Amino acid sequence: MPLTPTTALPRRALLGAATAALLCAAGPLAAQDAFPAKPIRFIVPYAAGGTTDLVARTVGARMAQTLGQPVVIENRGGAGGNIGMDAVAKAAPDGYTVGMGAISTNALNPHIYKKVPFDPRKDFTPIGLLGNSTIVLEVGPALPVKNVAELIAHARKNPGLPYSTAGAGTSMHLAGVLFGQISKTELTHVPYKGSAPLITDLIAGQVPAAFDNLPASLPHIQAGKLRALAVAGSQRSPALPDVPTLAEAGLADYAVEPWFGVYGPAGMPAAVAQRLEKALQEALAEPAVKDKLLAAGFTPRGSTAAEFGALTQREYERLGKVARAAHMTAD
């Protein structure tokens, strides 16, 4: 049957509709292929100037080179990191907002705060691990102990021995709780608002012992004002090669390694998440980035997104048991 204007028009209309449908279907894919087309916001849920801020800015600057768009750091502290991570969870899942989560925000906080506005197992897309910081167990000049065994003996003779940290609900607080559980000592937690006032009082003898982030305490240890007894991680710190781990000092299976990583909101397109994952891995593989992070007392250690998601889940479950056993609270 020959085509006539009457029969051709419906077929043209069908062809146009099919073409339009294909273009609509390809639209999201084309948008993902073009990602990123504007600056990316990188939320750090802590105040500016600390180790985590340095890590985010160093890695973010290198990621920007790979992605071809600026990575803008936004410090949004408060509530132990919950405020900043809530902003990440509630952002549009388009890849233009990511955040620096941590062992505290994404594994511990839900167990110790009365109300956390997000579920770290459901409300985020894991991008990848950044690495670990180091916690040091240290004493001031007022406490005459030279090693972990002597500290444990002193604590058993003095039940309720105070120890200080940079804040309730922090990874340092967790390190102290775990120390008490494994060493079978009764300790009293004295939280401070940051490392600076903690160190001042520790040097002055106002508190006898502390668990603190190594970068803050390192200059004072090197100057002989504080004595480092052990580090809390699974390996010795390159900055303190003669200081043992707590496991080496006799506390079998002890390890608290504050990890940090990058998350996006849940529901991100796979192609966008993979683009960010690759940019993060490339940044951490850059020698200049590694050197800068190591000098700040931070150990870079990348991962795949899947590995980071599995780590978050394992740590959430493990730290929940620790927090419940110790009745830890942060409110």
Select from 79, 233, 107 the least CA-distant residue to 168. Answer: 79
Question: Strand, helix or coil at 34?
Answer: coil
Percent of the chain with pLDDT over 70: 90
Question: Strand, helix or coil at 85?
Answer: helix
Select from 26, 20, 60 the least CA-distant residue to 42. Answer: 60
- Cα Rg, the chain, nearest whole Å: 25
Residue 179 has pLDDT above 60, yes or no: yes
User: How many Å separate Cα 22 from the centre of its chain?
Assistant: 42
- Tens-digit pLDDT profile for residues 244-256: 999 999 999 898 8
- Tens-digit pLDDT profile for residues 119-142: 999 999 999 999 998 999 999 999
Read off the pLDDT of each residue in 297-325 and give the average, rounded to a whole number: 92
pLDDT at residue 296 in the model = 79
Read off the pLDDT of each residue in 64-71 and give the average, rounded to a whole number: 97
Select from 12, 166, 196 the least CA-distant residue to 80. Answer: 166
pLDDT band, very low/low/confident/very high, at 284 (cuts 50, 70, 90) = very high
Q: Regarding the domain delimited by 40-131+259-326, which CATH topology (the fold level of the hierarchy) does it fall under?
A: D-Maltodextrin-Binding Protein; domain 2 (3.40.190)
Phi/psi for 43 (5° steps) reads -85, 125
Q: Regarding the domain delimited by 135-231, which CATH topology (the fold level of the hierarchy) does it fall under?
A: D-Maltodextrin-Binding Protein; domain 2 (3.40.190)
pLDDT at residue 331 in the model = 67
pLDDT at residue 19 in the model = 45
pLDDT at residue 4 in the model = 38
The β-bridge partners of 59 are none
Residue 26 has pLDDT above 50, yes or no: no
Read off the pLDDT of each residue in 147-169 and give the average, rounded to a whole number: 94
Which three-class secondary structure string do you get for 136-169? Answer: EEEECCCCCCCCHHHHHHHHHHCCCEEEEECCCC
For residue 92, the 8-state DSSP code is -
Domains 40-131+259-326 and 135-231 share a fold: yes
pLDDT at residue 225 in the model = 96
- Tens-digit pLDDT profile for residues 84-114: 999 999 999 999 999 999 999 999 999 999 8
Domain extents in the chain: 40-131+259-326, 135-231
Residue 2 has pLDDT above 90, yes or no: no
Q: Tell me the average pLDDT of the chain.
A: 88
Question: Distance (Å, rounded) from C-alpha 70 to C-alpha 315?
Answer: 32
- Tens-digit pLDDT profile for residues 285-302: 999 999 999 887 788 999
Read off the pLDDT of each residue in 4-25 and give the average, rounded to a whole number: 46
Read off the pLDDT of each residue in 210-215 and give the average, rounded to a whole number: 90
Instruction: Output the CA angle 219-196-169, nearest 5 degrees.
Output: 115
Percent of the chain with pLDDT over 90: 69
Residue 50 has pLDDT above 70, yes or no: yes
